[in-house]
A and B are shown apart, each in its own frame.
Chain A
């Protein structure tokens, strides 16, 4: 018997929808505005046009920025996934002194305000002469994407009965082969999810890229410049497209994670 009455349940559902609407309104509105002919978003839109999408496509600097974002993200995704995945496995399998410290280090970046991290990266990477380049952005993004990869893969590993690895060893598989044939195969779906999520995070990340990239601007940084110059509707056009991709990726990730529950190799 639930302690929430049926009537309260309906009200709460309605309330939930309102909140979802609130959270999605910038995305929905951005989408709406991108079709407006006027330069400044007004409500309601008088004339519909696809001009801004055409403008976005024509802006070569914008496309360059897009390319850079995609490039960095494409490199960050596998790197963060591998590093995070190995960290997750080490935490799953071993009990060593300093395990907690490693775990903390692996999961801490999202808890520190991004601005502080951005400054840290700027100062540190400039000492290494890696700023004003995409290498710096790549390194920094890996640091902040790694925790997500680690958390996701660690979650998946907790569904794996440790005795399965032992059984593989017992049957003659060495540690490496057992890892390859048992652990990796089991984690495959989540590795896929991790690649997607780390890609999105890197692609959409602004603050760190802004500090570190200098003239090699990634897309979000370029967007900020445009925001400051008030060239708004093109921003809406870009925003609509990237949001669509991001949301689609999240949807796929959720579907994969949900299906994982049925493929537990434990109890």
Chain B
């Protein structure tokens, strides 16, 4: 098991009346790629700033290799940050930008020059060395910001939504660059983002935050398969949620009565819930299909609804099917070829899914499982 490198213990941060972060505890291990994710205002950037020493927590401890570092000022820590707006110094050339941290640490001119040259080459921007940063493209500037941090040989690198300003294609290639670097150098990356795609694509472990508290702390797979609460389930966008009341339960399944009828849901690690308990059923969007009974659907859940919207992602679309006034399910749908008849907005369809693709989440935002694999 790798060592714990960085630890936040019961951190609290307030800004006036607003509580940005409350009773937050996170451990970060050596060599892992950790993503911190959540909606705007959830406290993720604040957490990052506290790690870097740019904000001081009102309560709690920040520990580095077991030592308390709350009192260590920002410039005494060695946890460089790649900023959202990159924060490249416009009055310095690319090379001088990259050398900056080394200069502040008192490294001599010759060594600085060599190290900077190495990293500029490594990231493919050595011909930009003497240029002004305003003349660079978005992708090139990103690499300068990266080089500026990596040249310091850090154990931990913080990244605050660094790719948010890039166009989609560039973003993908930068993601590949980042994951490649992380694996090769073995640096711990702590990556803050509000983009679910980025987090799930790059991270070994994801911490989802809301209103300053951790909702779930697990690997991407686990979050997808076992969302800890309603918020996480909704946040991933991969689940259809519906409220219900437990009717009965067996070892394999649980029956819950909902506004669209009785649903059959696979039992998960919970103790068998009592009849009458209010729960939330989370059904994987991926497991839902539309069709007709005559096609021989063997799934044990079926509801009827009307298509009210359609989203396109390439050749696939996601249909929004309205089941009742307040429940709309998302269903994946492949367009197929011109011969098959397309469903359209306004059509009535049946939605099917298997009980194994559904699970129970307790109502409310209590986190049900916080262990990570």
The CA-CA distance from A1 to B70 in the complex, in Å, is: 14
Return the chain B residue nearest A1 by Cβ: B54
B55 located at the interface, meaning its Cβ lies under 8 Å from any Cβ of chain A in the complex: yes
Return the chain A residue nearest B49 by Cβ: A1
B56 located at the interface, meaning its Cβ lies under 8 Å from any Cβ of chain A in the complex: yes
Task: List A residues at the B interface (Cβ < 8 Å).
Answer: 1
The CA-CA distance from A163 to B112 in the complex, in Å, is: 52
Interchain nearest-CB distance for B150 vs A (Å): 25
Those of B70-94 within 8 Å (CB) of chain A: 74
Interchain nearest-CB distance for B11 vs A (Å): 16
What are 4 A-to-B residue pairs whose CB atoms are below 8 Å?
Answer: A1-B54, A1-B55, A1-B56, A1-B74
Interchain nearest-CB distance for B24 vs A (Å): 19
Chain B interface helix/strand/loop/mixed: loop
The CA-CA distance from A1 to B75 in the complex, in Å, is: 12
Chain A interface helix/strand/loop/mixed: loop
Task: List B residues at the A interface (Cβ < 8 Å).
Answer: 54-56, 74
The CA-CA distance from A1 to B49 in the complex, in Å, is: 11
The CA-CA distance from A6 to B153 in the complex, in Å, is: 33
Which residues of A have CB within 8 Å of B54? 1
The CA-CA distance from A1 to B55 in the complex, in Å, is: 6
Which residues of A have CB within 8 Å of B74? 1
Which residues of B have CB within 8 Å of A1? 54-56, 74
Interchain nearest-CB distance for B45 vs A (Å): 15
Interchain nearest-CB distance for A248 vs B (Å): 36
Which residues of A have CB within 8 Å of B56? 1
Interchain nearest-CB distance for B15 vs A (Å): 13
The CA-CA distance from A1 to B54 in the complex, in Å, is: 6
The CA-CA distance from A1 to B15 in the complex, in Å, is: 12
Interchain nearest-CB distance for A6 vs B (Å): 13
The CA-CA distance from A263 to B181 in the complex, in Å, is: 51
The CA-CA distance from A11 to B4 in the complex, in Å, is: 43
Interchain nearest-CB distance for A8 vs B (Å): 14
Return the chain A residue nearest B53 by Cβ: A1
Closest 4 CB pairs of A and B: A1-B54, A1-B55, A1-B56, A1-B74
Which residues of A have CB within 8 Å of B55? 1
The CA-CA distance from A1 to B72 in the complex, in Å, is: 13
The CA-CA distance from A257 to B54 in the complex, in Å, is: 34
The CA-CA distance from A1 to B56 in the complex, in Å, is: 8
The CA-CA distance from A1 to B74 in the complex, in Å, is: 10
Interchain nearest-CB distance for B197 vs A (Å): 31
The CA-CA distance from A1 to B57 in the complex, in Å, is: 12
The CA-CA distance from A1 to B53 in the complex, in Å, is: 9
Interchain nearest-CB distance for A170 vs B (Å): 34
Interchain nearest-CB distance for A206 vs B (Å): 41
Interchain nearest-CB distance for B266 vs A (Å): 50
The CA-CA distance from A188 to B54 in the complex, in Å, is: 43
Interchain nearest-CB distance for B257 vs A (Å): 50
The CA-CA distance from A1 to B50 in the complex, in Å, is: 11
The CA-CA distance from A201 to B74 in the complex, in Å, is: 48
Return the chain A residue nearest B75 by Cβ: A3
Interchain nearest-CB distance for A65 vs B (Å): 52
Interchain nearest-CB distance for B16 vs A (Å): 16
Interchain nearest-CB distance for B54 vs A (Å): 6
The CA-CA distance from A1 to B71 in the complex, in Å, is: 13
